[in-house]
């Protein structure tokens, strides 16, 4: 799932004329692009997406040759939407969709590739009238879901497995490093890009975060703002490393 800070066209609709609350964001596109650049590593992989939303990233994993794709989401409507997307993409036979919170739907299971595009926009008063409430559930520091994901990802990585997640620059990478290191995990930045950040979202961003990040990960040019976004790749430390 994505957060409200990265929404594209505000009034996107489905083919049935209903507003599409799960429409992909620029963050989703960036993650898909990075996965496609690494698609040789995805062939034959058992893949999991935490927060599958529209199901489009799961379809990308299937198209890259994953042997099995599993998606979880806290929203039942997201599971239904993902089922439709995956069926339309021709990957229903290798797909599994599970409703539930974070890691609970896949307890004790391990995967070769885990991906996530979780809400992580820091705000006390998020305002996403054209999204579900879960799209803005990251808390005032933006790490409410991210840290829960990082704490559990190591338990679900198969030997040699990797996780790839979106990570805004305004979330402290040093703090992410501390959480991953405490769990015995390594990480590196696989890709970085500037994405447009609607200026109205700046008004709802936690003031302390905005004040600290202007000129560091958030750049404003006239009436337009951009945020530095990373794809972070997570792995287990090599034996003896």
How are the residues of the chain apportioned to helix, strand and coil, as percentages rounded to the nearest 5? 35, 30, 35
Total-model pTM: 0.86
Q: Are 232 and 164 in contact (CB under 8 A)?
A: yes
The alpha carbon of 169 is separated from its chain's Cα centroid by a whole number of angstroms, namely 14
128 band by pLDDT with thresholds 50, 70 and 90:
low
- Nearest in space to 217 (alpha carbons), one of 170, 174, 173: 170
- Nearest in space to 122 (alpha carbons), one of 140, 148, 143, 146: 140
pLDDT of residue 159: 96
Q: Are 130 and 10 in contact (CB under 8 A)?
A: yes
- Nearest in space to 98 (alpha carbons), one of 81, 121, 79: 79
CA gap 96, 83 in Å, rounded: 9
**Backbone phi, then psi, for 28, in 5-degree steps?**
-60, -45
17-48 per-position pLDDT tens digit = 335 777 888 999 999 999 999 999 999 999 99
Provide the phi-psi class of 222: left if phi over 0, else alpha when psi is between -120 and 50, else beta. Answer: left
CA torsion angle 189 70 102 120 (round to 10):
40
Task: Label the pairing between strands 224-236 and 185-197.
Answer: antiparallel
Q: Are 176 and 167 in contact (CB under 8 A)?
A: yes
Token readout for 241 is 């490393």
Domains and CATH numbers, the chain: 4-194+229-236 (3.40.50.150)
56-114 per-position pLDDT tens digit = 999 999 999 999 999 999 999 999 999 999 999 999 999 999 999 999 999 999 999 99
Provide the phi-psi class of 50: left if phi over 0, else alpha when psi is between -120 and 50, else beta. Answer: beta
pLDDT of residue 4: 33
């Amino acid at each position: 799932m994505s957060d409200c800070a990265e929404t594209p066209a505000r009034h996107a609709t489905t083919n049935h004329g209903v507003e599409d609350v799960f429409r992909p964001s620029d963050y989703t596109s960036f993650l898909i692009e990075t996965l496609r650049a690494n698609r040789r590593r995805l062939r034959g992989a058992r893949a999991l997406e935490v927060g599958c939303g529209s199901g489009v990233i799961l379809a990308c994993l299937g198209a890259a040759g994953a042997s099995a794709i599993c998606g979880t989401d806290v929203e039942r409507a997201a599971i239904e939407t993902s089922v439709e997307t995956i069926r339309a993409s021709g990957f229903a036979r290798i797909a599994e969709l599970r409703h539930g919170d974070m890691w609970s739907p896949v307890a004790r299971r391990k995967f070769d590739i885990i991906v996530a595009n979780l809400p992580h926009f820091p705000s006390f008063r998020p305002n996403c009238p054209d999204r579900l409430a879960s799209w803005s559930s990251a808390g005032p520091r933006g790490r409410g879901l991210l840290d829960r994901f990082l704490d559990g990802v190591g338990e679900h990585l198969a030997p040699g497995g990797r996780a790839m997640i979106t990570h805004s620059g305004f979330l402290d990478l040093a703090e992410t490093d501390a959480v991953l290191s405490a769990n015995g995990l390594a990480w590196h930045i696989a890709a970085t890009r500037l994405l447009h950040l609607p200026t109205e979202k700046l008004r709802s961003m936690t003031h302390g975060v905005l004040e600290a990040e202007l000129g560091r990960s958030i750049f404003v040019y006239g009436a337009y703002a951009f945020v530095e976004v990373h794809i972070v790749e997570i792995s287990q430390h090599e034996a003896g490393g």
